[in-house]
Amino acid sequence: MNEEQLNNWLNKRKERREQLNAADLLSKMRLQEMSALSTAITLLESTRKDDQKIANELINLSLPYSGNSIRIGITGVPGVGKSTFIESFGKVLLNAGKRIAVLAIDPSSEFSGGSILGDKTRMEELSLMDNVFIRPSPAGKTLGGVARKTRESILLCEAAGFDIILIETVGVGQSETMVHSMVDFFLLLMLAGAGDELQGIKRGIMEMADSLVITKADGDNIQKAKLASREYQNAMHLFPPNPNGWIAKAMTCSSVQGENLEQVWQTIESFINQTTLNGWFSKKRHIQDKFWFQETLKDLILDRFFLDETNEHEIAQAESDVIDGKISSFQAAENVFQTYINKQNGTKL
């Protein structure tokens, strides 16, 4: 491409971006135009100020149309069969007349350069079907940032009329806690006979699960899977009772054979019915809204402080004073913060 062609291309791109407008995008999304939803999520992920402005407008405009889906989190160690499960389970949902969106949170994507859904191979058939939207994990500097974008993507998918949002996350680190705080139903996939420690599954994650499914219950593995399911069902009775009145269920399934996937869907439906009737469904959503408000506020405050170059010198000086034992870490932090506040007050005057 020579310089003139490059300039033409850049100008066209600029024009296209300038033509983007939140209200237009929303009306296209409401008409179920997938490309409008893709563009909307791209704007959300963009670091450009003008893109972010449109994205924020779009989220505000989308709010009245959002909230009407069932949000399902799916977690488990790498290789447990999450993507294959979503491929097969997705078809069960489509047969039930649902429109489904699949999103992902992948804490490792930053390092591997890819993402869980980067290779969509295991969702090949699903990704070609009507009424399906699949979007890989957004890239981001922090898990908090990625999680926030995923949560905003949920709202956009809902405004675009999707009934079920599936969120795949790898069962390591903090990502499942993040996903748990944005879904209605949390599904933990597990392997039979691999040992809890091997699977990196901590008791805390099992306690978060609304249902536990032993995957790959086919061939020689069926008996082992059934036994594991019974053992987990017994173990879950030992957990403190859930305030929503729901007792987590352990099941087996085979995504490859398409076994027991309807049963998983029925379990989710009865959970939704039960928690809607006893008020927990909306109560949990309110708790989550409040949580995300506070998380975003914290992020904004932290960004404001740490991205402000004028603080760099004071922070560096305080750090070396702490290391040299000249001042305690607590006092150093208070001093730096006070200097910052004084500076803020000074700029207001």
Q: Which residues here bind ligand GTP, judged by CB under 6 A?
A: 76, 78-84, 116, 122, 170, 215-216, 218, 254-256
Rounded Cα gap, residues 178 and 185, in angstroms:
13
- Provide, rounded to whole angstroms, the least separation between the CB of residue 254 and ligand GTP: 4
CB 346, min distance to Mg ion, A: 52
Q: Between helices 261-277 and 82-95, what is the axis angle to 10°?
A: 70
Q: If binding is defined by CB under 5 A, does position 82 make contact with Mg ion?
A: yes
Least gap, CB of 153 to ligand GTP (angstroms) = 19
- Rounded Cα–Cα distance for residues 237 and 287 (Å): 25
Q: Which of 39, 62, 69, 83 binds Mg ion (CB under 5 A)?
A: 83
Query: What does the DSSP assignment read for 220-268?
Result: GGHHHHHHHHHHHHHHHTTSPPPTT-PPPEEEE-BTTTTBSHHHHHHHH
Cβ proximity to ligand GTP, 180 vs 318, nearer residue: 180
Determine, following the binding rule CB under 5 A, whether residue 150 of this chain makes contact with Mg ion.
no
| 75: contact with Mg ion by CB under 5 A | no
Instruction: Kindly indicate which of the ranges 38-46, 57-65, 81-89, 175-183 contains the residues binding Mg ion, using the contact rule CB under 5 A.
Output: 81-89
Amino acid at 62: S
Q: Residue number with the shortest CB distance to Mg ion?
A: 83
Distance separating alpha carbons of residues 129 and 317, to the nearest angstrom = 58
Give exposure, 232-249, as e/b (b: 16+ Cβ within 10 Å).
beeebeeeeeeebebebb
Instruction: Determine the interface stretch with Mg ion among 34-42, 83-91, 208-216, 319-327 (rule: CB under 5 A).
Output: 83-91
> 82 or 151, CB closer to Mg ion?
82
Using rule CB under 5 A, residue 187 touches Mg ion? no
Q: Work out which of 59, 116, 159, 248 binds Mg ion, going by CB under 5 A.
A: 116
User: 39 or 254: whose CB is closer to ligand GTP?
Assistant: 254
- The residue among 259, 263, 99, 251 whose CA lies nearest residue 166 is 99
Q: Can you give the binding site for Mg ion, defined by CB under 5 A?
A: 82-83, 116
